Amino acid sequence: MRYYIVSKGDHKSNSIKENMEAQMEANNMIKDADEPEIVISVGGDGTLLEAFHQYCHRVNETAFVGVHTGHLGFYADWLPHEVDKLIEEIADGDYEVIQYPLIDIIVNYNDDKEPSHHIALNEATMKTEDNTTLVADVNLRGQHFERFRGDGLCISTPSGSTAYNKALGGALIHPSLRAIQLTEIASINNRVFRTVGSPIVMPEHHYCLITPVDQRVIMTSIDHVTTKHHNVESIEYRVAKQRVRFARFRPFPFWKRVHDSFISDGRDE
Ligand code: NAD
């Protein structure tokens, strides 16, 4: 088994990482930063997002698992005191792989620059560079849908629906559904300007094309990374062909994770 561990970088996460590496070596597992079959993140959900982006070029070959050193994460759902058991199960190869949808993002430019391709595990957002109102035409599956005015737009995956999307009033979507969700970030709605106002969920064969009107410098955030793009013509979002693979060593159903993260973790029940 070839593995790699990505740490958040703080003292606690680094020492868990070192301890795990020693145990994994003792179990004849090979540390391989280039072609790991399993990538373990130690930290929080943000660390798992980083690990995903570090290895998203090999999503078909690598499975992810997250250990949390802070509060329970959505992706990082193993506790530090459980890592011995986790290593044992990895050594036995005794795990199931579950797959969740991703978003494929293409930024098209109106100069000679080639379109840039990106992939998101949680969400992709689109805003202006100086927090002014984003004015953009929203096109769904080749048809003009609305002219949006507001702070920005957020397109999320089902597993990302519990992250930024949730704070925007989006729906929580079970990751077995291959879909993307478009959510407004503070739209302007009055007698003159109108948007639909509700989150929109699109199936895998649909796509969403957003064309800024008279604004060419656009800030995108893809998971934890924000980038400034010049001369943007449009940005296209669709359900990606690839899916992320998570190694599951025990059942932890999605709705149970939602319950434990947002309602109660059982300590006060
Ligand atoms: P971070 O690691 O501090 O994450 C921020 C919070 O989002 C953490 O509490 C984390 O556990 C939680 N989170 C991340 N993915 C989640 C998921 N799929 N479901 C439920 N909770 C999740 O910060 P970061 O490293 O910058 O992480 C980037 C993520 O932060 C983005 O992908 C975005 O979803 C989230 N975010 C949330 C808000 C908000 O809720 N208002 C605003 C900005 C960004």
Beta strands 134-140 and 123-128 are unpaired
Structure confidence at residue 72 (pLDDT): 82
Q: Work out the burial of residue 136: count CB atoms within 10 Å of its CB; fewer than 13 is exposed, 13-18 middle, 19 or more buried.
A: buried
Beta strands 38-43 and 2-7 are parallel
The helix or strand, by DSSP H or E, that contains position 192, with its residue range, turns out to be none
The residue with greater pLDDT, 265 or 147, is: 147
Cα of 148 to ligand 1 centre, how many Å? 25
Question: What's the pLDDT tens digit per position in 167-217?
Answer: 999 999 999 999 999 999 999 999 999 999 999 999 999 999 999 999 889
Distance in angstroms (rounded) separating the CA atoms of residues 163 and 223: 10
Rounded to 5 degrees, φ, ψ at 228 are: -95, 125
pLDDT at 154 over 90: yes
Least-confidence region, from 85-94, 132-141, 144-153: 85-94
Catalytic position from the list 10, 34, 45, 265: 45
Question: What's the pLDDT tens digit per position in 3-60?
Answer: 999 999 999 999 999 999 999 999 999 999 999 999 999 999 999 999 999 999 999 9
Mean pLDDT of the chain: 95
> Annotated binding residue at 149?
yes
Least-confidence region, from 138-142, 148-152, 264-268: 264-268
Residue percentage of the chain with pLDDT more than 90: 91
Instruction: Please report, as a single letter, which amino acid is at residue 260.
Output: D
pTM comes to 0.96
The yes-or-no answer on residue 45 being catalytic is: yes
Q: What would the mean pLDDT of 127-132 be, rounded to a whole number?
A: 95
Listed residue (130, 118, 129) closest to 155, CA to CA: 118
Cα of 128 to ligand 1 centre, how many Å? 21
The helix or strand, by DSSP H or E, that contains position 46, with its residue range, turns out to be helix 45-55
The residue with greater pLDDT, 128 or 215, is: 128
Question: What's the pLDDT tens digit per position in 220-258?
Answer: 999 999 999 999 999 999 999 999 999 998 888 999 999
> Annotated binding residue at 151?
yes
Tell me the CA distances in angstroms from 28 to 18, 134, 215, one per residue in order.
15, 54, 55
- As beta bridge partners, residue 40 has 5, 65
Distance in angstroms (rounded) separating the CA atoms of residues 228 and 190: 30
N residues, the chain? 269
> Annotated binding residue at 94?
no
Structure confidence at residue 44 (pLDDT): 96
Collapse the DSSP code of 255 into the 3-class scheme (helix H, G, I; strand E, B; otherwise coil) and give the result: helix
Q: Give the residue whose CA is nearest to atom 5 of ligand 1.
A: 46
Could you tell which of 45, 164, 254 is best to mutate to test the pocket of ligand 1, judged by most ligand atoms within 8 Å of the CB? 45
Cα of 8 to ligand 1 centre, how many Å? 14
**Shortest-distance atom of ligand 1 to CA 44:** 2
Distance in angstroms (rounded) separating the CA atoms of residues 156 and 151: 16
> Annotated binding residue at 160?
no
pLDDT at 77 over 90: no
Q: What would the mean pLDDT of 57-70 be, rounded to a whole number?
A: 96
Token look-up 């070959």 returns 61
Q: Give the residue whose CA is nearest to atom 22 of ligand 1.
A: 163
Structure confidence at residue 269 (pLDDT): 54
